[in-house]
Amino acid sequence: MTDYTPLDDIPRIHDALRKKFRTGITKPLKWRRHQLLQLARFAKENEDALVECIRQDLGRAKQETVMSEVTPIVERSLICAEKLEEWTKPEEVTVQAWQQGWNPTVHKHPKGVVLIMAPWNYPMILSLQPLYGAIAAGCCAVIKPSEIAPHYASFLARTLPKYLDSSVYSVVLGGIPESTKVLELKWDHIFYTGNGRVARIISAAAAKHLTPLTLELGGKSPVIVDSTADISVAAKRILWGKINNCGQLCVTPDFVLAEKSIMPALVEAFAAHLKTFYPEGAHESKSYGRIVSDEHFKRLKGLLSNTKGRIAAGGKLVQGERFMEPTVVVDFIEIFGPILPIVSVENVDEAIDYVNDQCDHPLVLYAFTTEEKTKKKILDNTTSGNVLFNDTINMLSMNEVPFGGVGESGYGRQVLYYSFENFTYTRSVADMPYPEEKFFGPRYPPYTKESLEFMSEILRRPIPESVLPSASL
């Protein structure tokens, strides 16, 4: 594998990118389009190698990697290349009649030199999805992949320069010292995906330079299931969400809040679908992955060993292989792993209270119900980055909607246009024609009673009456 980037090289990489950005090389749309198509080629032509790297790092099945990482990068890079002119076109602005001659427009410009810090759990899409946004925006970029996925990180550093302009896009390899060095530098935007603890460190470092951030932080993503749901389908879809990447996913269903009346049927359905997914057991299946590290495995094993809940399905462990079977536990809460807790509640109101009390701004809130009134109640009485009814994870497949967190689950949005938008700033432009001068007389000294009356005309307009509505119970 490739060695870590020397610490002394990191400032030099940064300076070189800043000088390169000032040459204007990234501005032409034809240049950006070529880089986007090259990124698509990188993903497509190296599919097998990328899948193998991620298998070595995470033990993940090929289909999961192709479905969740390789295919989206190819597809979305191509869409970006196609949409560049539409996204970057100056927008004409409708203004008041007396200002129409000023020709106001809003332009989107690249922020400059940006930093992308990616995690280990989905190392490809979480490094290259921000990258296609930066390319489309016209930025230079440094990608800092996680050292916990070393095979992918090393492959990226060796192979990406064969496709993209290496004087504009660089990969920095390393652990905490290298990340610390990177964060000492001034960036024009930082895109970080990971946890809240590290996000606070990054935010503090960014604040020294007033650097804007996008933070994709995950957090608890609870599932509410009421008695109107199709229990078998709900269990199947929730379990599918949980077994993806061994539950090591920022939008994994973390725990289930189920109405008490359906608990036995729901638990039985989970056990049945687990057998269907893995007829010979998850350990023997090529469709199931492994825990990323011994440290993570030890933590999850300890939680499972000390649980006060009842293991209703799964529970098998093989320490030397970091194998943990998908495990359903009744009346126990845990996150980020293949452990799926189920807690009973009396009704949806109790579930909503639990989410609001125990989950600090979920990245995604899942709910299985067929009642439109219940959907509205959940939407009106909870806060989360996203909401998905009657499925899990699958909203990540939608290209047209923004995805991101709120509060503890982060801020900023991504996917296609929203990834592009992260790395641009809007620049308002107006052009005052000289013939407009005849309208500007009242703004110039000496001020007079007449000019004051002209400038304060809005203050003489009546404000509509309003009445404070009574609070609804």
Instruction: Give the catalytic positions in this structure.
Output: 216, 250
* C-alpha span between 205 and 129 (Å, rounded): 23
Note whether 190 and 114 are within 8 A (CB). Answer: yes
Q: Which residues 6+ apart lie within 8 Å of 395 measured at CB?
A: 364, 386, 388, 401, 403
Note whether 385 and 418 are within 8 A (CB). Answer: no
Tokens of 150: 């070393």
* C-alpha span between 14 and 21 (Å, rounded): 11
- The set of long-range contacts for 326-331, using a CB threshold of 8 Å and a minimum separation of 24, is 326/239, 326/242, 326/243, 326/247, 326/274, 326/277, 326/282, 326/288, 328/267, 328/270, 328/271, 328/274, 329/304, 330/263, 330/267
Note whether 135 and 25 are within 8 A (CB). Answer: no
Note whether 180 and 368 are within 8 A (CB). Answer: no
Note whether 364 and 388 are within 8 A (CB). Answer: yes
Note whether 116 and 143 are within 8 A (CB). Answer: yes
